[in-house]
């Protein structure tokens, strides 16, 4: 599996990360090493083995659905970097340009 510039760009987009040219080169070589390393898994025959999807003790932990509060609005907004007294504020979702 070869790590190409296109793959790096695609993954950066999925990750909501951006990299300059120099970082991209370094990342390309690092990811190439990391992916070659994990490719070792292909050597194992896992036919018929169910993939493990849960580590918990039981599949379901059921409880009654009770309405209760957890945090106040003030607490919930305490750490917001940009806000008014009721809302989290964000830049325009769609930039008109």
CB 12 within 8 A of CB 18: yes
Cβ 37 to other proteins shortest distance, Å: 5
Q: According to the binding rule CB under 8 A, does residue 67 interact with other proteins?
A: no
Site string for other proteins, 4-23 (x = CB under 8 A): ---xx-xxx-xxxxxx----
Q: What are phi and psi of 65, to 5 degrees?
A: -85, 95
Could you say whether residue 27 binds other proteins (CB under 8 A)?
yes
CB atoms within 10 A of CB 27: 17
Phi, psi for residue 83 in degrees, rounded to 5: -160, 165
> Reduced to 3 states, what is the DSSP secondary structure of residue 41?
helix
- The residues of the shown chain that bind other proteins, judged by CB under 8 A, are 7-8, 10-12, 14-19, 27, 30-31, 33-35, 37-44, 46, 49-57, 61, 63, 71, 75-76, 78-82, 88, 90-95, 97
């Amino acid at each position: 599996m070869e790590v190409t510039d296109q793959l790096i760009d695609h993954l950066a987009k999925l990750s909501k990360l951006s990299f300059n040219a120099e970082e991209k080169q370094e990342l390309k070589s690092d990811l190439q090493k990391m992916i070659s390393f994990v490719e070792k898994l292909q050597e194992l025959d896992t036919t018929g083995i169910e993939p493990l999807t849960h580590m918990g003790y039981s599949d379901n932990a059921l409880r009654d659905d009770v309405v209760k509060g957890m945090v106040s609005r003030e607490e919930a907004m305490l750490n917001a970097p940009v806000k008014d007294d009721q809302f989290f504020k964000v830049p325009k979702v769609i930039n008109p340009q």
